[in-house]
Structures are given as C-alpha cells and as structure tokens.
Chains A and B, each alone.
With several copies, the nearest count.
Chain A
Amino acid sequence: MDTVYTAEIHYSSYLSESGTALQKMPQWAEKPEQLVHYYRNMVLARQLDNKIIALQRTGQIGTYASLLGSEAIDTVLGELMLKEDVLVPYYRNHALQMLRGLPMGEMLSYWGGDERGNSSPAMAEDFPNAVPIATQALHATGVATAFKIRSEKRVAVTVCGDGATSKGDFMEALNVAGAWQLPVIFIVNNNQWAISVPRSIQCGAATLAQKAIGAGIRGEQVDGNDVIAMHESVNEALKHAREGKGATLIEAISYRLSDHTTADDATRYRSNDELKAAWDREPVKRLQTYLHSQGWWDEVQETAWQNEVSQIIQKGVDHYLAMPPQPIENLFDYLYAELPEALQEQRDKLIRNAQPGGSHHE
C-alpha cells in the first residue's frame, strides 16, 4: 500500500482562556493600539447585543440572532478585510457589517423586519444576510469567480456556522474554490451548536477544518475566542487569496453563549455546566484581562468606554425607531428593474387596500 496523500490540521492560539500569553506574540500585538482597538469594538458589539435583546423583549424588534460569543471573529474580519473586498455574511455578522460601514440604525431595521436593512449604499457590494443556511458560501465563490475573471486582487469572505458545513452548498463551494483556486475565505464560526444539534452529531470528523482537505484547499483551526490568533489566521488567508494562491477554510472555535435566537430556549437542550464553562473562555473578558495585565487598559478607561458605547448605541436605536415606514409600493417596485405591465393592477390594488378604508389599512 502506497501513501498517496498526507494531511495535517493545525490549531493556533495565542491567548490562554485566562488571558495569558501562550507563545511569543506577533509583532503587531506587542503594542497596545491594535488590541485596544479590537477590545473597544468587541465591547461595542457585546453591549449592542444586550440592547437588541432588550428591544426584542419589549416588542420593538423581531426575532433576533444574538452575536454573543462571536465578537472576536467579527471584529478581526471587520478590521482586516479591505473596503474593496466583499463580505458574504450570515445572520450572526451584524457587528462585522457595521464595521464595514452599515449604520447601526439600518442594521437594526433588518431585525425590525424591514428590507432597508440590506439596502444601505454603505454596504457597497457586500451581500445581505443569508438566511437559507450555507447558500452564501456559493455566492461568495461566485463573487470570487468574478474577481478572478477580471483579474482583480480582491477577496470574497463568507461566514457560516458549524451546522452549515453539513449542507451540500458549503461543500460544493469548497470544491469549486479548490478546483478553480478562487480568492475566497470560508470562516466557520464553530459555536458548537446548530440550534439544538451539538457539533458531535453534526459531523463525525475530528475537526471541521478538515473539510478543506477533500476540496484541496487550505484548512485550519483557530481559537475563535482569541483575537490574536484570529488576526494571524485571517491575515494569512487574505494574503494567500490576494496573491492568487486560492482559498482557505478557517474553523474558528467559539461558543454560542446565547440562545439560538430570541425564539429559542437553549436550556431545553444544553446543560448549564457547559454554558458556564464556555463563559470562562469567552473572548471579551479574555482580551480585557490580557490588556489589564499589560497595563494597556484600566477601569477608568473601561467605564468611560462603556458610557460612550451606551451613547453610540442609543443613537443607533433612536435612528432605528425614528425611521418612517417604507412606502408599501416597495413591495412591487424592486421586484424587477421595471414593473411588468401584468403587475400594474396588483400594485394599484396594494396601494388602494392600504389607504384609509382599504382592507389592509391598520
């Protein structure tokens, strides 16, 4: 028997669960600026998440998918992706979307059941959230194909969950990315749960990163609660893609600290102990501890920043709550570039019904 192929999957981390250094830091992390910047963004994401859940509980916003536990992933991607790169996100990347320019109020309007949350010009060519699981992986490879055809040095970055790796779309995307050496990065936010289905039931492989092997692309695991490891891994993958060397799958090990969405109750299917243990590994506190230990952040700064963040968020929420309803004719006016004649009558009826006295006037 000949060995015709060998592969290894590596796991990288820099910060221990308790926020101490595990190995020599990369150069950029030996200075405070970048790390403090990451920390600030992560605090913002976390506080915003709390706020949105409060809005949901008080009926001011719809079903919401919390980002709790994925702050490091979003923050690093938001920092390292270039403006001209294209993000093809899933429904847990709103912190990342904001870092790429989407105003908070408009982001909130998406969760408020309003398509304008996808339409801000600030989103440039980024995709809106993908709700049908894993479909975005293929859109990202399509975007990357366009880059490759036009010989542009841009990268498509797509994010999905651990559950998504079981769906054909994800694997078909990896496969074509490998066959065509596309400039695309697949980030798997492995938060250990797909609603109630644990990672162990999702897939029999030891790592999800090894799904890259069957497609002939780079694959690696990284501590997704560790901004430093995330930064290194994403940076390398972007460089690789930008140089025309092809795709990377990064499995970022994290934990879904929240319920799946506000419509879910995770106590039904997972133990408190597991959740508690996960809180001991969470990304924000970990980085805070490290910054404290380096003398790069203190209580005063913390309080000041938390206050500032509150105000930023309040502004965003105010903006959201003050948005006038969108014109109902939007229901038809963006379906086609030009409304087909055959639909004119239905459009008229929609408008008529919504007027005072109409059947849909509320």
Chain B
Amino acid sequence: MSNSITMIEAVNLALQHEMQHDDSVVILGEDVGTNGGVFRATVGLREQFGIKRVLDTPLAETMIAGLSVGMASQGLKPVAEIQFMGFIFPTMEHMIGHAARLRHRTRGRLTCPMVLRVPFGGGIHAPEHHSESTEALFAHIPGLRVVIPSSPARAYGLLLAAIRNPDPVLFMEPKRIYRLNAQPVEDNGKALPLDRCYTLREGSDITLVSWGAMIKETLEAADQLKKRDISCEVIDVVTLNPIDHQTILASVAKTGRCVIIHEAPKSCAVGAEISATIAEQGLLSLQAPVSRVTGYDTVMPYYRMENHYMPNSADIIETVTSTLEFS
C-alpha cells in the first residue's frame, strides 16, 4: 500500500529510507535539524537518527559544501541542504574545484559521494533571491551531475539514486510544485536511473522538452493542445548534466519539431545546449526551427512581477502553434 504524497514528502521519505538502510548517509545544513528544514524536507529525521546524523550547521554555505567534501572523502554520504538556490553561489568554489574533481585529481583514490539539495525556481511569492533558477551554472561543470525531479515519485526514486551515486550530485527541487499533485509513492527503496531523459507523454506532432516546475506548464499545454488534436511528446530531461541527448534526438527524429521550455533566463542556459545539439545532430529531421520558451534575460523580479517573468502554458501553446505552422 502506498499513500498519496507530495514531492516534499517524497524527498523526506527517500532521505528517511536511505538513512535507515545506509549508516553512512548524514544530513547537514541550516535548520535541517530541530526545525526539519524551512520546507520540512528533513522533518522528523533528527528525532529518528539523532544529532550525529542530522547536523544543524552554522550559517555558511561555503562551509557546508567544503565540509561535505571532507566528509565524503571519508566514505560518508553527506546530503547537504542549501536553503534556496539564490544562496548557492558560495558553494561553487568547492563544488567546481573540489567535489567535481576529487576522483579525477586523485585517480580514484578519494571520491566525493555527496548530494547538494536545493529548492529552486519562482512562483511562490517569495522574497528576493528566493526564486532563481541557475542550473546552467552547474550543468556546465564536468564531473558534477545535475538532477531535477518533477513529480513525487521521481523525487523519491531520483533522490535515492543521487545518494547512492558514487559521485557528487546537485539535486534541485522545484519548490513551486513541492506541494502540488500528490501521488502514490511506494517506499520500496527502488532508485530511478540517472543520466536518462524520461518520456512523460508519447506524441507524434511535436516534442516538448522541459524540466522542473515547467513540466507542469508543459503538461498543461500538451493537454490543451490535445483537445486541438495536436499530439505532443513530452520529455522531462531530469539529468541536466550529462544530458541524455539520444532520447531527445530520437523523439525529434520522429516528430520533426521541438519546443524547449525552462524557467531560467534564455541566454547560455541548458535549453541552448539541447537546441544546439538537436540542430547539429538532427538538422535533416527538423521540419521547423527549434524554439525556446524561457524566462527573460533579466533579473528575477520581486514577487509582484514574477508572473510576468515566468513562462506559462499559454506561452508554450503559442510557440507550439507557430512551430507547427512553420513550413
């Protein structure tokens, strides 16, 4: 029997499962202990596993990342939380310079099986710096996996996979859908594959490629387009580094058209890599130019204007329509 749970509950469930089955899993971060995390991702874990496995850290993101590298080198599996994506930048020297390189630098002598969890994205009317989507900064880093779930079930299975993965993983959680759309998730300890795109809907007219909270908008658009007899294949990229281009290319080979949707600003984002790869490797199968529906190349505004910034299903439908009209 499995209950219907939300994504944030699925995150909590995966953490709990893995801590129970693997003593080396240790949680750390700001407010993850007594408070159970500002989004409640770690609620109950301190009580269950004690203060040696759920560590409330001082307020210092560089430290959280650097400490995790040191702990991971000792064979622990730190799962660190950064409270919001807007506060992740101090971790970058350690994530890029150390976490992503420790295995390479030591030719496998030391490794870094850590996970850095971070909620990201807009849409919850949060204060400044609480709504960014900067996955592109990490997707460019060799050695660092970037994984983003878009449903409770995938959050559960992918987080298990991320923790078990012997290399560092940035696990980005689309907080806008933390509590939307509960679904049954069985606590069966089954990890889902990383480095794979997930095809959420099969379709024949056009391929929609997205990730994170934009999957919600994308699926909504696909539903509405279906009513107009337009058949969308919807691909959730899930792992943004390394990207499983083959699944996307195979889909576009079939549909001939593609729209990529993400919340981050357009320029030099992950959408560019996907669009470029499709055109470079699938040029002849393209019946229309690939289009990107994205955030603007501007600062994520304070919440009053955030809805103007963020792409929505109407934008997607509009772009799909013009892509289908192209000839």
Contacts and interface: CB of A to CB of B under 8 A. Distances in A.
Complex A–B touching at CB under 8 A: yes
Interface of A: 62-63, 86, 88, 91, 110, 112-116, 118-121, 123, 125, 127-128, 131-135, 137-149, 156, 163-164, 166-169, 172-173, 175-176, 179-180, 194-197, 201-203, 263-264, 268-269, 325-326, 328, 330-332, 334-337, 340-343, 346, 349-350, 353-354, 359-360, 362
A28 to B, nearest CB: 32
Contact of B30 (A113, A194, A362): A194
B30 A202 contact: no
A334 B104 contact: yes
Given A115-B104, A335-B298, A350-B296, 7 more contacts: A113-B125, A140-B70, A167-B90, A172-B58, A332-B296, A337-B166, A346-B298
Contacts of A194: 30, 59
A190 to B, nearest CB: 13
A359 B301 contact: no
Contacts of B103: 334-337
B60 A172 contact: yes
Contact of B98 (A135, A337, A343): A135
A217 B65 CA distance: 22
Nearest to B89: A132
Interface in B53-75: 53, 55-63, 65-75
B72 to A, nearest CB: 8
A125, A148, A340: most-surrounded residue (chain B CB, <10 A)? A340
A359 B34 contact: no
B245 to A, nearest CB: 7
B31 interface: yes
Interface string B291-305: 000001111011111
Given A138-B62, A142-B69, A62 B34 contact: no
A44 to B, nearest CB: 24
Contacts of A146: 70-71, 74-76
Contact of B105 (A118, A143, A264): A118
Contact of B35 (A63, A88, A269): A269
Contacts of B110: 125, 127-128
B63 A268 contact: no
Given A118-B109, A169-B66, A332 B31 contact: no
A139 B58 contact: no
A139 B305 contact: no
A138 B242 contact: no
Contacts of A149: 26, 52-53, 71, 76
29 contacts: A62-B126, A63-B126, A88-B70, A116-B107, A118-B107, A118-B109, A127-B110, A128-B106, A132-B87, A138-B67, A139-B66, A139-B69, A142-B72, A142-B73, A143-B71, A146-B71, A166-B59, A169-B93, A172-B62, A172-B66, A175-B63, A202-B58, A264-B38, A331-B296, A334-B103, A346-B297, A354-B308, A359-B318, A360-B315
B220 to A, nearest CB: 13
B128, B303, B318: most-surrounded residue (chain A CB, <10 A)? B128
A113 B303 CA distance: 5
Contact of B304 (A112, A138, A147, A172): A112
B148 to A, nearest CB: 16
Contact of A132 (B26, B76, B93, B305): B93
B307 interface: yes
Nearest to B68: A142
B308 A176 contact: no
